[in-house]
Amino acid sequence: MSATAPARGQAAAELLCLYREMLLIRRFEERCNALFLQGRIPSTLHLYIGQEAVAVGICSVLRRDDYLTSTHRPHGHALAKGVSPRAIMAELFAKATGCCRGKGGSMHVGDIAVGAVPAIAIVGAGAPIAAGIGLSARMRGTDQVVACFFGDGGANEGAVHEAMNMAAIWRLPVLFACENNLYGASTPVSEVIAVPDIADRAAAYGMPGVVVDGMDVLAVREAAAAAVVRARGGGGPTLIECKTYRLCGHSRSDACGYRTREEEAAWKERDPLARLSGALGGEAVAGLEEEVAAVIDDAVAFAEASPDPQPEDTLRHVFWEEP
Ligand SMILES: Cc1ncc(C[n+]2csc(CCOP(=O)(O)OP(=O)(O)O)c2C)c(N)n1
Ligand SMILES: [Mg+2]
């Protein structure tokens, strides 16, 4: 299956840029997985492999001063928003140079300097914060927008409903980006959601609901661009449901017994990178592989050479006013 790229006539340089972002996430995560298996990364990891087109498509239409809120599966969101690979890798290694000074780990990466609010592992908890950021932008008189990433599991959390309702009644500049990867851990969407599409729920709040192919970066980008125009112009929020799939387990100890190998193979056919690489040509893609590998090598070397956090700094940078 080919990407929708040529049909929409995007310039080659733009496509290459989107591909590079997705490739960076994919290779970064593959390296993380290897490092985890070698025992060099502590705690667990929720990898984003397969879902890259969602983060890249949405973030490609955000400005640096726009915001995003993220989830327990945040590496892709953070990289796509421009958080430094060094700072993310160092955070995974629990080093003092990490983006949360080694205190957050994988599920809390982010960097407010580039608008990536440090991720929250509590499912759905980013949504009220996104509404709050949208309200803040309104009160400060800016045209900033905020993208709120959450999963199909998150879509059933009360906090997400409250946030969507508030964003809709106050026309807050929020893109609700639902990454429907068909499972909340091992629970299939069909067992916990009765409507055909999560985007159907948008009507109940009074906002547009759009379903997009989350394995097609250009389709995601197009939907996100329309939502951003609407949000910046005071039109309020949009719910974009991206149908996607994680081409990996839920976390690092998941044998995926709740889904079939046939289903996995069918989605692998729709791999967002493979779809776009066909439109770009082998030579361009090979050059990016080298470039991205160097970025990741550098990030790992930086993380390994970095100091551990010090016990006396335990309470520093935790509270707004330090005790
Ligand atoms: C409020 C809350 N309940 C349960 C969990 C445990 N938990 C972590 S990830 C997850 C599944 C989330 O599914 P989804 O929102 O679809 O995101 P995905 O993992 O598919 O990316 C659950 C239940 C949690 N972290 N927070
Ligand atoms: Mg899910």
Say which DSSP state 309 is in. P
Which range is least confidently modeled, 10-14, 220-224, 274-278?
10-14
192 CA → ligand 2 middle, Å: 11
pLDDT of residue 278: 83
Q: Tell whether ligand 1 has an atom less than 6 A from the beta carbon of residue 192.
A: no
Nearest CA to ligand 1 atom 21: 151
Euclidean distance between CA atoms 220 and 150, whole angstroms: 15
Which range is least confidently modeled, 128-132, 167-171, 314-318?
314-318
Residues 6+ apart with CB under 8 A from 21: 52, 56, 59, 60, 79, 80
Euclidean distance between CA atoms 160 and 175, whole angstroms: 12
pLDDT of residue 171: 98
Q: Tell whether ligand 1 has an atom less than 6 A from the beta carbon of residue 51.
A: no
Confidence class for position 306, pLDDT limits 50, 70, 90: very high
pLDDT at 323 over 80: no
Q: Tell whether ligand 1 has an atom less than 6 A from the beta carbon of residue 183.
A: yes
Are the CB atoms for 50 and 101 separated by under 8 Å?
Answer: no
Condensed to tens digits (0 to 9), the pLDDT of residues 235-248 reads 999 999 999 999 99
Euclidean distance between CA atoms 150 and 160, whole angstroms: 9
- Residue that the structure tokens 């994919």 belong to: 26
Condensed to tens digits (0 to 9), the pLDDT of residues 131-174 reads 999 999 999 999 999 999 999 999 999 999 999 999 999 999 99
pLDDT at 128 over 80: yes
Q: What average pLDDT is seen over the chain?
A: 95
pLDDT of residue 114: 98
Q: How far is CA 318 from the centre of its chain?
A: 24
Segment 291-297 mean pLDDT: 98
pLDDT of residue 213: 98
Q: Which of 49, 123, 182, when mutated, tests ligand 1's pocket best, judged by the most ligand atoms within 8 Å of its CB?
A: 123
Confidence class for position 67, pLDDT limits 50, 70, 90: very high
Are the CB atoms for 71 and 126 separated by under 8 Å?
Answer: yes
pLDDT at 296 over 60: yes
